[in-house]
């Protein structure tokens, strides 16, 4: 079965703007925190060490389509899935819903990199212990 | 000639994250502030009144591709253009560069709406005085 | 016994800055979300209706002293207490700690107001059902 | 004459919250960006190198009193002054006003530190070329 990760997030006051709804940029934060929870569920982290190197996941692309607004104190359901697993990159899909109603859907493409301080960031193959846990559709 | 709006933005400390670069979500704020400056340059605002109604521009979609990172105190050049003008919607393209180097490119689709408090938000044709000032390629 | 409310918060990537630690401004967000949880624990909300009026809690003052930094993925303990209950205002104390180590202490003074749209904001006595639940030292 | 630095800031949409005004936490960002502009005006930066070490200015304390709200597109005047210059620390006062009306006043205490990666942060005397440019009342 394809990899999936389910989480929730309660909307905070600072997520809102003067239009009375969640600011569109906040959905990218919500995607990121879901991604980070997902990586922790695999036993790793978005900022970790591996074989003596610092590993990170810089973003290549991010997008979101907005279907319905979110409000203060809403508890939004977030479903993460991995739609593409390259040798060095992952593409995540995110589906946001509130009590079954579609709110938004987003996408994030990240690339596995060595991010040692003082060195040029360079892409590497996703470590096997992470890659082996991710099944794409 | 197609509509274009050029602006700059100096990167602030809070735009950065522990990776030492500008957080990817901040580019959506940069797009939005460029859009708002552009609307002011047309003699309107993203939150204004028109014919006794409150007018706003909710977002339908937003995306960004990241080519190279930005750092604290960088002064990024932002070029906004309007790639599509529908009856009720606008699609903006954003190009980010630093001293001629490509940094990122983004897209934002917004829809013109009446946003009176207590009423359901509804899309309306873009007011003529705005629409007439925007020339698409 | 004086009123106290205990909560936790996991540090997110966007809470950090290029110094590799949580940005000082984020502690004010952490205080606010603890305050909002506390108000919900009393059966109310920072943005609610009461007797047909909208009620809010604008801030009069906020402060924080920083003792030790927080990092990504830390799970900080937050202890809220109410140090002063005026007729119309509340002063909260916040203590932040990580595995028993002092991190920061903050203070927030808020005032209970009617915040009906289109009307001037005005301070009112704290509703009895809220005030009666709060015991100060 | 005591050191003073004057700047302005235009309120952005994301500075606002669902109460329709600037969120109280944003004033700490405004103080910080004024501080950083001030440091640049002295020929330095909040994140710089000096004698082969990285220098930074971690925060010891921050506070703000709120007198009147700010709204979207307001252009707030910010006046920074240095109320105390210790051997290793600076205390800034910030006064916010809008068309002559008092909006808020804040305070920030920072300490000059060596912040080399991999080393423990340690306070140092403020470098002479900075200290000599700052005159306190």
Length of chain C: 137
The set of long-range contacts for C115-123, using a CB threshold of 8 Å and a minimum separation of 24, is: C115/C54, C115/C55, C115/C56, C115/C58, C115/D19, C116/C53, C116/C54, C117/B117, C117/C54, C121/C56, C121/C58, C123/C88, C123/C89
**Please, what is the Cα angle at C126 between C122 and C132, to 5 degrees?**
180
- Chain D neighbours among B 84-103 (CB < 8 Å)? none
- In DSSP terms, D22 is beta-bridged to D16
Q: Are D34 and D94 in contact (CB under 8 A)?
A: yes
Cβ–Cβ gap C115/D19 under 8 Å: yes
Q: Give the pLDDT of residue A118.
A: 81
- List chain C residues with CB under 8 Å of D65: 60-61
Taking the whole predicted model, whether its pTM rises above 0.80 is answered as yes
Cβ–Cβ gap D18/A21 under 8 Å: yes
Q: Give the pLDDT of residue B118.
A: 81
CA distance D67 to chain A (A): 20
Q: Which chain A residue has its CA at the smallest distance from C14's CA?
A: A29
Beta-carbon contacts below 8 Å between C and D: 55
- Convert the pLDDT of each residue in C108-136 to its tens digit: 999 999 999 888 899 999 999 999 999 99
Q: Give the pLDDT of residue B117.
A: 81
- Convert the pLDDT of each residue in B84-137 to its tens digit: 999 999 999 999 999 999 999 999 999 999 999 888 899 999 999 999 999 999
- List chain B residues with CB under 8 Å of D7: none
- Convert the pLDDT of each residue in A71-97 to its tens digit: 999 999 999 999 999 999 999 999 999
Q: Give the pLDDT of residue C117.
A: 81
Q: Give the pLDDT of residue C108.
A: 98
Q: Which chain D residue has its CA at the smallest distance from C48's CA?
A: D19
Q: Are C109 and C59 in contact (CB under 8 A)?
A: yes
CA distance B96 to chain C (A): 21
| For chain C, percent of residues with pLDDT exceeding 70 | 100
D: neighbours with 3+ CB pairs under 8 Å?
A, B, C
Q: Are C117 and B117 in contact (CB under 8 A)?
A: yes
- Convert the pLDDT of each residue in B16-73 to its tens digit: 999 999 999 999 999 999 999 999 999 999 998 988 999 999 999 999 999 999 999 9
- Convert the pLDDT of each residue in C43-91 to its tens digit: 999 998 988 999 999 999 999 999 999 999 999 999 999 999 999 999 9
Q: Are A130 and A110 in contact (CB under 8 A)?
A: no
Q: Give the pLDDT of residue D117.
A: 81
Q: Does C23 touch chain B (CB under 8 A)?
A: yes
Average pLDDT over residues A46-71: 95
- List chain D residues with CB under 8 Å of B29: 12, 14
Q: Which residues of A76-105 are buried (b: 16+ CB within 10 A; e: fewer)?
A: bbbebbbeebeeebbbbbbebbbeeeebbb
Q: Give the pLDDT of residue B1.
A: 82
SS3 (DSSP) at B38 = helix
Length of chain A: 137
SS3 (DSSP) at D34 = helix
- Convert the pLDDT of each residue in D66-125 to its tens digit: 999 999 999 999 999 999 999 999 999 999 999 999 999 999 999 999 999 888 899 999
Helix (H) or strand (E) holding D47: none
Complex prediction ipTM: 0.96
Q: Give the pLDDT of residue C92.
A: 98
Beta-carbon contacts below 8 Å between A and C: 28
Q: Does C129 touch chain D (CB under 8 A)?
A: no
């Amino acid at each position: 079965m394809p990899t999936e990760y389910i989480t929730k997030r309660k909307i905070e006051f600072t997520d809102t703007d003067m239009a009375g709804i969640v600011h569109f940029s906040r959905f990218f934060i919500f995607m990121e925190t879901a991604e980070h929870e997902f990586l922790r569920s695999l036993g790793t982290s978005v900022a970790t060490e591996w074989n003596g190197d610092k590993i990170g996941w810089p973003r290549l692309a991010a997008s979101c389509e907005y279907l319905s607004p979110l409000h203060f104190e809403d508890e939004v359901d977030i479903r993460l899935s991995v739609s593409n697993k390259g040798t060095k990159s992952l593409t995540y899909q995110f589906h946001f819903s509130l009590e079954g109603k579609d709110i938004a859907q987003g996408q994030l493409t990240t690339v596995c990199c060595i991010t040692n301080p003082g060195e040029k960031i360079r892409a590497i193959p996703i470590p096997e212990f992470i890659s082996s846990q991710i099944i794409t559709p």
